Amino acid sequence: MTRPDALESLVSLAKRRGFIFQSSEIYGGTGSVWDYGPFGVELKNNVKARWWNAMVRERDDVEGLDAAILMHPKVWEASGHVSGFSDPLIDCRACKARFRADKLGDAACPRKPSKQPGEHADCQLTEPRQFNLMFKTFMGPVEESASVVYLRPETAQGIFVNFLNVQQATRQKVPFGIAQIGKAFRNEITPGNFIFRTREFEQMEMQFFVEPGTDMEHFERWMQARLDWHLGLGLDRDRLEFHQHTEKELAHYARAAFDINFDFGGTLGFQEIEGVHNRSDFDLRQHQEYSSKKLEYVDQANNKRYLPYVIETSVGADRVTLAILVNALREEAVEGEQEGRTVLGFHPAIAPIKAGVFPLTKKDGQPEMAERLAAALRKRFPVFYDEAGAIGRRYRRQDEAGTPFGITIDGDSTANDNVTIRFRDDMGQIRVATSRVAEVLGRYLEADHARADSRLVE
């Protein structure tokens, strides 16, 4: 089954509702770089916080790290990125377009999109040449080859070079992991599909250091743990699959690799959102050789020393955010209404705004009571106060932003100190005492839906 393409409607919804804007839009935009607006930054922060909690805070065998983006240039020689992190590039001299030689079959000729590059009479394709994907810049005031540094293309190397620092400071014993979240940069030849492939993005990476020989058992355990994490975000099971790398697909460092793929629908279909890699001792061995510093782990209890193998889990924060948006978007008919509604049905725990607070009218003390309630709730949850327009329209705006709960203050509220909570997913409503609103929302945030459910209110 091919799912419909949601990307086009998402790009305009994301802009309209303040999730994602094109970078430097007033200057015509920067190619494949995006800015997160007020709702987008909350959503992505929630994704990152859930990852950090699951990978670092809830485990005693993984430590956190925040390494710098700029690193010693030798790091990238040792890691193989200077010599090997490149894609084969083909230019068309006629239309000046650039293509990845290995993806020519998926590309369209700009002059005749029904044809592939090279199939139009005007096409003049060059021979493929290797194009390194790392961004180069200069450290210090002099632009010369001795001061070249790179913007990191993956966060992982910051972990490898700090392996012994972290191990010795925390006195962790193998097996243990180091995790970090941070920006990475790749001068992609064919970026695109909104925030799917960009030139600046955020990775959430974890390297788990294990004794050689135990690596495949840890590899399998991490594959399952990572799939479970994506399910916990509310991604549909039938939109997720594992893809095992063939010998040809394996990266230069990998002994075995699986991608976790998500079905984005349309022509994009199933695509990688996370990679789980068995990197063997490739990186530590390379850094040991290039730095001439011993990076071995000393297992005192068993009187052994060795370079650990590494199981890596590497997931893009932006790509997961896109998967969440695609998974959540739905257009629905509404009984008794001509216009349907657009809903972002996020899991309540990752929704950017948890509740909209609405006085039904702008009089009779309702706005004052609503503002007091919004101010109290803000201490615990991101809340949006809105008194503009018909109540139905205010609900629709919040449905489109993925806000799971709407709290309405009406005439009865000011008389009896209670409010209506309206649920995004089934539009059901319940009445609760004002003093209980925060407690009821708290229970709902732990549930995985935003439907009226009397068990959560008792």
- Binding footprint of ligand GAP on the chain (CB under 6 A): 154, 156, 186, 188, 197-198, 201, 203, 205, 272-275, 312, 314-316, 318-319
- Cβ of residue 12: shortest distance to ligand GAP, in angstroms? 21
User: In the chain, how many H helices and how many E strands?
Assistant: 13, 23
**Helix ranges, 88-181 (H):** 156-161, 163-170
- Cβ of residue 311: shortest distance to ligand GAP, in angstroms? 12
Q: Is the Cβ of residue 14 or residue 156 nearer to ligand GAP in the bound state?
A: 156
CA distance 194 to 34: 8
- Cβ of residue 179: shortest distance to ligand GAP, in angstroms? 12
Backbone angles phi, psi at 101, to 5 degrees: -60, -35
Strand partners, 151: 70
- Cβ of residue 202: shortest distance to ligand GAP, in angstroms? 8
Given a contact cutoff of 8 angstroms between Cβ atoms, the answer to whether 273 and 260 are in contact is yes
Q: Is the Cβ of residue 249 or residue 426 nearer to ligand GAP in the bound state?
A: 249
Q: Is the Cβ of residue 186 or residue 347 nearer to ligand GAP in the bound state?
A: 186
CA distance 386 to 205: 39
Q: Give SS3 for 311.
A: strand
Closest residue to ligand GAP: CB criterion = 316
- Cβ of residue 159: shortest distance to ligand GAP, in angstroms? 9
- Cβ of residue 201: shortest distance to ligand GAP, in angstroms? 4
- Cβ of residue 75: shortest distance to ligand GAP, in angstroms? 13
Given a contact cutoff of 8 angstroms between Cβ atoms, the answer to whether 185 and 316 are in contact is no
DSSP for 272-341, written as a single string: EEEEEEE-TTHHHHHHHHHH-----EEETTTTEEEPPEEEEEEEEHHHHHHHHHHHHEEEE--TT-SS-E
Which contiguous run of DSSP H or E holds residue 264? none
Q: Is the Cβ of residue 324 or residue 445 nearer to ligand GAP in the bound state?
A: 324
Q: Give SS3 for 133.
A: coil
Q: Is the Cβ of residue 78 or residue 273 nearer to ligand GAP in the bound state?
A: 273
CB atoms within 10 A of CB 379: 8
Kind of pairing between the strands at 383-385 and 355-359: parallel
Q: Is the Cβ of residue 195 or residue 401 nearer to ligand GAP in the bound state?
A: 195
CA distance 172 to 180: 17
Q: Is the Cβ of residue 273 or residue 441 nearer to ligand GAP in the bound state?
A: 273
Q: Is the Cβ of residue 315 or residue 427 nearer to ligand GAP in the bound state?
A: 315
Q: Is the Cβ of residue 123 or residue 323 nearer to ligand GAP in the bound state?
A: 323
- Cβ of residue 330: shortest distance to ligand GAP, in angstroms? 24
Residue among 398, 399, 386 nearest 357 (CA): 386
Here the tokens at position 90 are: 């083909």
CA distance 392 to 386: 12
Which residues touch 239 (CB under 8 Å, ≥6 apart)?
Answer: 3, 262, 263, 323, 327
- Cβ of residue 273: shortest distance to ligand GAP, in angstroms? 5
